[in-house]
Amino acid sequence: MTLAQWSFDLLLAGGLLWLGWQALFEKRRFSAVVHFMAFNLLMALVWVRLSAPDIALAEAAIGAGVTGALLLTALGRLPSGTSSGAHPHRWHPHWRYLAVISACISTAWLIAVVPQLPSPGLAGEIEAVMPATGVDHAVTAVLLNIRALDTLLEVAVMLAAVVLVWSLGPTLRPLPPATILPGLPALSRLLHPLFLLVPTYLLWRGTHAPGGAFPAGAVLGAGGVLMLLADEVGWMQRQHWQRLLRLLLVSGLALFVLVGLGGLLMTGTFLSIPLGVARLLIMAVEIAMALSIALMLMALYLYGEPGQ
């Protein structure tokens, strides 16, 4: 570690803490949201410094694209007079002292505990079982074969979030913009070839390098959000497409569960995939999951149940 490296890391950590603090304790909601978006940007850099490019990729795809869009649109929909939040500074002093003391204790505990962790983690064990997983990239192997149940449940949680948002009421109609913006359709027209190309590239790369279903789905979903913004996705609102839309939303989860049940029949363990078909099945599950993650993000962006 040279001086330049130290100063870079310290700047990064300090900036992250500052942006996180502002995002939590800023009174004006818009300012807090922008601080949070900048926090996501720096967080991706932190993951890169921790040599976790997979997480940096997912953070970039989800944090830069969809989270910002969702928060900004939700902010515009808040009823009048609520654009500044409550005063967190007006906490009772006892609570404040308690929070500061517990933060100090947990930081000290982390500093004491972290050096005692085994330093390469579980890399050795995963390296040993890699040939039995059917893919060449360790993170994909963990996500879709070794700990597939976690990924399955994550997709289920996302689906539950969509159900929750849709249960709030009918879709919010987009309001007309303040002025004619010819740049908006131009933007979506220029970017859309890439919004199809890049997720495909990420899916293909996922078998042997950082990539995979989550970043691919998030990028595809961000493209969908851009289309929704330019009001180009009429079919999601129409009545006779609703059945297909719901079917597509659950398709990733359904295929995943089917593969798991197939594994149960063939090997006796839920979600264990026989090596012969592992590569093919993992690719199929990844493609289906990327598509339904993209649709779920678009469905969240509707802020209500379409077709009502």
Partner 1 sequence: MTETLLNAAGHGLVLVGLLFFLAGSLGLLRFPDIYARLHALTKAHNLGLGLLCSGLALQASALSEAAKMMLVWLLVLIASGIGATLVASTANTCGIVPRQVSRRIRHKRPREPKE
Partner 2 sequence: MTTLYLVAAALLLVNASVGAWRIRQGPTSADRMLAAELISTSTIAVLLLLSALADNPALVDVALLFAMLAAIATANFVTRTWTLLRQDHHSREEAGHD
User: Which residues of the shown chain bind partner 2 in the complex (CB under 8 A)?
Assistant: 2, 4-5, 7-8, 11-12, 15, 18-19, 22, 26, 28, 30-31, 34-35, 37-38, 41-42, 44-45, 48-49, 53, 56-57, 60-61, 64-66, 68-69, 72-73, 75-77, 80-84, 174-175, 177-178, 181, 184, 187, 191, 194-195, 198, 202, 205, 209-211, 215, 219, 222, 225-226, 229
The residue to which tokens 């997979």 are assigned: 54
Q: How many CB atoms lie within 10 A of CB 274?
A: 13
CA nearest to 139, candidates 155, 123, 120, 119? 123
156 binds, among partner 2, partner 1, none (CB under 5 to 8 A by kind): none
Structure tokens at 136: 């060449």
The upper half-sphere exposure of residue 193, i.e. CA atoms within 13 Å in the direction of its Cβ, equals 2
Residue placing its CB nearer to partner 1 in the complex, 10 or 186 = 186
For residues 142-153, one letter each, b for 16 or more C-beta atoms within 10 angstroms of the residue's C-beta and e for the rest, the string is: bbbbbebeebbe
Residue placing its CB nearer to partner 1 in the complex, 14 or 88 = 14
Q: Which of 78, 190, 264, 275 binds partner 1 (CB under 8 A)?
A: 190
80 binds, among partner 2, partner 1, none (CB under 5 to 8 A by kind): partner 2
Site pattern 260..299 for partner 1 (x: CB under 8 A): ----------------------------------------
- In whole angstroms, how close is the CB of 181 to partner 1 at the nearest point? 6
Backbone angles phi, psi at 170, to 5 degrees: -70, 165
Residue placing its CB nearer to partner 2 in the complex, 16 or 258 = 16
Cα distance between residue 87 and residue 91, in whole Å: 8
Footprint of partner 1 on 154-183 (CB under 8 A) = 177-179, 181, 183
Site for partner 1 contains 11 (CB under 8 A): no
Question: CA distances (Å), 51 to each of 111, 172, 213, 227, 267, in order?
Answer: 20, 41, 20, 34, 35
Number of residues that bind partner 1 (CB under 8 A): 11
Site for partner 1 contains 191 (CB under 8 A): yes
Structure tokens at 34: 């922008």
Cα distance between residue 10 and residue 186, in whole Å: 41
Q: Which of 187, 227, 248, 258 binds partner 1 (CB under 8 A)?
A: 187
Cα distance between residue 195 and residue 294, in whole Å: 11
Residue 58 near residue 290, CB atoms below 8 Å: no
Interface contacts to partner 1, rule CB under 8 A:
177-179, 181, 183-184, 186-187, 190-191, 194
